[in-house]
Structure 1
Amino acid sequence: MRQQHKTFRAFEVGDGGDGRWAAYARALWPEMEGLLTEEGRTPEGADRVRTLFRAHMPELVPVLDRLAGQLDRPGAEALLTHAALRPFSPACTQIGRDGTLLRNYDFPPDQCEGNIVSSCYLRPVIGMQDVLWGLLDGMNDAGLAVSLTYGGRSVHGHGFAILIVTRYLLETCDTVDEAVARLRSLPIAVPQNLTLVDATKAVTVYVGPDMAPTIAPDACAANHQHLPVTDEQERASRTQERLRAIRAAGADVAAMLKPPLYRSGDDEESGTLYTAHYLPAEGRVTYYWPGEPWAQSFGGFTPGSRTVAASRQR
């Protein structure tokens, strides 16, 4: 057995125009280029995703232009639309309850950026960033928090990666109801589950390229949606087991740091990379690893880094 480690970093990027975001993005660019689809590499594909972005996320177009100009790499604009990305499927668990959003993010360590970013593109947002400006989870200054899990179904269509959808909702919405309404007009490339929390409401929404946004039975999600889970799918992801466990535990950080919700990754599964506990009405989030919390907030964001034990591999 070999112990892996993962370094998480926290930094501020402001509105993306002062060079801080660009320095980080240029360093990652060699890893990012491979995420573009073949269509996204063509002039016609780049035009298509730019048009899609302008039509559905017009508020973020000035930010897209600013970031693409700062990055200054061929294909940067197409990649930053997140409408021409190869699909990814993290195995996560999350719950919204009583003004709290709690989630585990499970994925191979070397495929997660591990960057906690404080930004002010349109408004103050703090979240776990991925693919340069998308978000795996986050909160805004209005007291809204959002996180994602993979929906577990192998379909793909034209639309946005869920990372940029999470960013867009946090940049443009104040409440759960407003965010759910906006979701109804956004094309989504891959089945995903979003859990949304504000001071008075918590919901999980199933989205995908082949379905209208659908409110889940409760504000919990693992890696399935409305369809039955096959025995093979359950063996691979334990999605039903994890959903039962989080429903029973509620928004309990201690339960998230223990099996079956915390996954060690000591077999062929992805391990839990971090636990995030958002209190969006208070503007606070704490990231957890067993024995090692890291708190951040709008009133006290602290840049720095933490290297933690990730998963074990054979």
Structure 2
Amino acid sequence: MPELVPVLGRLTRQLDRPGGDTFLTHAAMRPFFSGCTQIGGEGTLLRNYDFDPADCEGTIVSSHFLRPVIGMQDASWGLLDGMNDAGLAGLAVSLTFGGRFVHGPGFAILIVLRYLLETCTGVDEAIGKLRSIPVAIPQNVTLVDSEKAVTVFVGPDIPLPEAPDACAANHQHLPVPDEQEQSSRTQERLSAIRAAGTDVAALLKPPLYRSRFDEGWGTVYTAHYRPSKGRVTYYWPGESWEQRFDDFAPGSRTMIIGQAG
């Protein structure tokens, strides 16, 4: 990801901590395993991010390193999901954990999503770059522009196969072990989002909306990206917050989560 090296240098000079430059590369980071469900189609990307809210940064960021990007930030400058300003096409990307507990050399997917949004103008270009970047743990990446929506599987032990359709939960291959299905409901959620399509209301209700926060797995937010329009709306039960490239509004919100509408 050579285009990010000058940005890394600028950010490193602003840090006052030993090893800050290594941390910002997102190489050899401690693995994290999240839930999540996502779907793309007709120029829109819709996703639920399921995690322990105590460990979620909860920062919507508007940045301009190499180009304007809006997204949900994590680990200083990584992204859980986001979009760029690539003209009428635009590009939006998001991640879900791939469901397989393997680990290898490579980068955290957070910095890879940042890289794709900083350097790519569409889905095909982004997939081409993904083929050359090692990713440390299995992840499902959904990519959307105005003409195409694709989900690809990445990981340290597989090539870059495409999913049958542009949606993902938390598995890559079938069959899913019974114990894993009971804890994650990944197949159930994937079936539900396929049936619902890009319907925001469906993601704010079970089984897609999850409220098992006592077990560390709940829906922290729902994001609806429309990259060709330069708009994203974040949803919680009974609340929403839109941000746009042409009118980004700094501020903060306090949300009550765990109660599906």
Normalized against structure 2, the TM-score is what? 0.96
User: Quick one: which of 271, 292, 296 aligns to 2:243?
Assistant: 296
Higher radius of gyration, 1 or 2: 1
**Residue in 2 aligned with 1:26?**
none
User: Quick one: which of 200, 203, 206 aligns to 1:253?
Assistant: 200
Q: Which amino acid aligns with 1:58?
A: P
1:225 aligns with 2:172: yes
* Cα shift at 1:73: 1.3
Q: Which amino acid aligns with 1:172?
A: T
1:122 aligns with 2:122: no
Instruction: Give the total of aligned pairs.
Output: 256
**Residue in 1 aligned with 2:159?**
212
Q: Which amino acid aligns with 2:211?
A: S
Which runs of no fewer than 5 residues in structure 2 stay unpaired?
none
* Cα shift at 1:227: 3.6
Question: CA contact under 8 A between 1:95 and 1:195: conserved in structure 2?
Answer: yes
**Residue in 2 aligned with 1:162?**
109
Which runs of no fewer than 5 residues in structure 1 stay unpaired?
1-56
Please give the residue correspondences for 1:1-314 in structure 2 after superposition, counting only pairs within 5 Å: 57-142=1-86, 143-265=90-212, 267-311=214-258
Q: Distance in 1 between matches of 2:257 and 2:57?
A: 13
Q: Distance in 2 between matches of 1:112 and 1:80?
A: 17
Q: Distance in 2 between matches of 1:130 and 1:163?
A: 7
* Cα shift at 1:232: 0.3
Between the aligned residues of both structures, percent identity stands at: 74
* Cα shift at 1:265: 1.8
Q: Distance in 2 between matches of 1:283 and 1:233?
A: 37
Q: Distance in 1 between matches of 2:55 and 2:258?
A: 13
Question: SS in structure 1 opposite 2:176?
Answer: coil
Q: Distance in 2 between matches of 1:227 and 1:243?
A: 12
Q: Which amino acid aligns with 1:132?
A: S
* Cα shift at 1:309: 1.2
Question: CA contact under 8 A between 2:81 and 2:93: conserved in structure 1?
Answer: yes
Q: Distance in 1 between matches of 2:132 and 2:160?
A: 9
Q: Distance in 2 between matches of 1:283 and 1:170?
A: 13
Superposition RMSD in Å: 1.0
Question: CA contact under 8 A between 1:152 and 1:224: conserved in structure 2?
Answer: yes
Question: CA contact under 8 A between 1:97 and 1:202: conserved in structure 2?
Answer: yes
Q: Which amino acid aligns with 2:251?
A: G
Question: SS in structure 1 opposite 2:240?
Answer: strand
* 1:145-167 CA distance string (max 9 Å, x none): 00000000010000000000100
Structure 1 moving runs of 4+ over 3 Å:
none
Question: CA contact under 8 A between 1:78 and 1:84: conserved in structure 2?
Answer: no
